[in-house]
Amino acid sequence: MLHSRPGPADPRTAHVDYFFSCQRLQPSSHIHTRQVYFSRAVCGLSRVCQGSAFPDSCERPSMTSVDYGVFMNAVRSVLIVEDDPAMQKVLSLSMKKMGFDVSIAHHGRQAVDLVESGDAEPDAILLDIRMPVMSGLEALPRICALKPTTPVIMLTAFGDLETGLAAMKAGAFDYLVKPSSLEKIREVLQKAFSYRDVLIQKAEEERQKEQYRLELENRIESSYQELGNVYQRLKKMNMETAQALAETIEAKDRYTQGHCERVRWLSAELGKVLLLKPDEIEQLEYAALLHDIGKIGIPDSILNKQGPLDEREREIIRMHPLIGAQILSTVEHYARAASAVRHHHERWDGQGYPDGVAGEKIDPFACIISLADTLDAMATARPYKSALQKEMILDEIRRMSGSQFAPHVVDAFFRAGLDRAFFERLAKDEQ
């Protein structure tokens, strides 16, 4: 049979109400609150078993005003490090009378071992200065290193005041002159416990800050990675778009199949030899792929005409750099390529088209594309001509350095062995 919970008005059953209150506390409730309720419940149960009335001092504490003093005196622990048996006994009895848990070490070495092993987890340490095996001054820095949040109170004789002050400079929280009154010991310990609580709270806050910082760094890194992935996907999409447009051009001019891709490849290789930056090489590749996009605006009858073009047809075909530049200038990502497309038929000596600019006034990407475009055109058959022989082509490129082509581009082409690499690539494409 289930029984209803007794009301708190009956002092003989008040302890039950404390147990139920403890159960109702949220997991996030302060540990001090939970332990005070439990301590009061045990206190009440003990008194009821002895037949005594439940005292007013054990009435249920307010959830918003917990008696932390009771808690501190009930659960705090103190490690006494003292070699004098008589002083050990006096201090131990005093600590227990105040409600503290007490553990004993007979010298500094034993205290260090207890703390290091975890056999002692004190809230405060009373450490005598003068001891055999290891003195308090020797043990102090080791204990502080092991337990930086545990306050150490030095025990000193009247004549050791200067030593006690020196110990405080070395990391001790305070010092007590032996013998000290019970109230003095209590006062110093309460300050030490409060100090420890502040240190622990600060350490926890720092831990949480560090955890938050690491989480934030991880989020930022993850965001950067995601942005990097998005950027790479966009780059791939842009390149695929450019390749699709290049294939559209080649579909219109069936004699140039593979031409745009070879011009892109050779231009990129030349860009590397000329030490262009990665983002510059990327824009150079777009321009090389799309250098003939303006041919979309040229009639098929001219592009696929068998035999040489007349003057009027040549004027029309010379419009394709302007048409291409106009098309690309409307697309933000290809805007840099527009200038190179406009100039890819300009000559170093100023005799090219459509603007007739010369030397360094020509877009630097166009200087690279011009050589790659002309080389591939000479090496492949067109409706109006046959492919030239390899040696004839290479001799022509050398001869045209400084007139049609930029000298530094021609130099990079031969210096890097791209003449051999190009014809190997062309042979594979024609298989």
User: What's residue 37's pLDDT?
Assistant: 43
Q: Using an 8 Å Cβ cutoff, are 338 and 294 in contact?
A: no
Out of 94-103, 203-212, 420-429, the most confident range is 420-429
Q: Of 34-48, 59-73, 326-340, 357-371, which gets the smallest average pLDDT?
A: 59-73
Q: Which residues contact 328 (CB under 8 A, 6 or more apart)?
A: 290, 293, 334, 335, 337, 338, 341
DSSP string, 140-172: HHHHHHH-TTS-EEEEE-GGGHHHHHHHHHTT-
| Arithmetic mean of pLDDT, 244-263 | 80
Cα distances (angstroms) measured from residue 325 to each of 313, 321, 337, 338: 20, 6, 8, 4
For residues 269-302, b (16+ Cβ closer than 10 Å) or e, as one string?
bbbebbebeeeebbbbbbbbbbbbbbbeebeeeb
- Is the pLDDT assigned to residue 263 strictly greater than 90? yes
**Residue 272 confidence class, pLDDT cut points 50, 70, 90:** very high
- Is the pLDDT assigned to residue 150 strictly greater than 70? yes
By three-state DSSP, how is residue 47 classified? helix
Longest dimension (CA), the chain: 125
Question: What domains are there in the chain, each with its CATH number?
Answer: 11-69 (no CATH), 76-213 (3.40.50.2300), 253-429 (1.10.3210.10)
The CA angle 18-19-23, to the nearest 5 degrees, is 115
| Tens digit of each residue's pLDDT (9 = 90 or more) over 40-50 | 444 444 443 34
Helix axes 161-169, 136-146, angle to 10 degrees: 20
Mean pLDDT (the chain) is 81
Tokens 């530049």 map to which residue?
Answer: 325
| Tens digit of each residue's pLDDT (9 = 90 or more) over 55-112 | 444 443 333 333 334 444 446 889 999 888 888 888 888 888 888 889 899 898 999 9
Closest among 203, 177, 199 to 188, alpha carbons compared: 177
pTM (two decimals)? 0.53
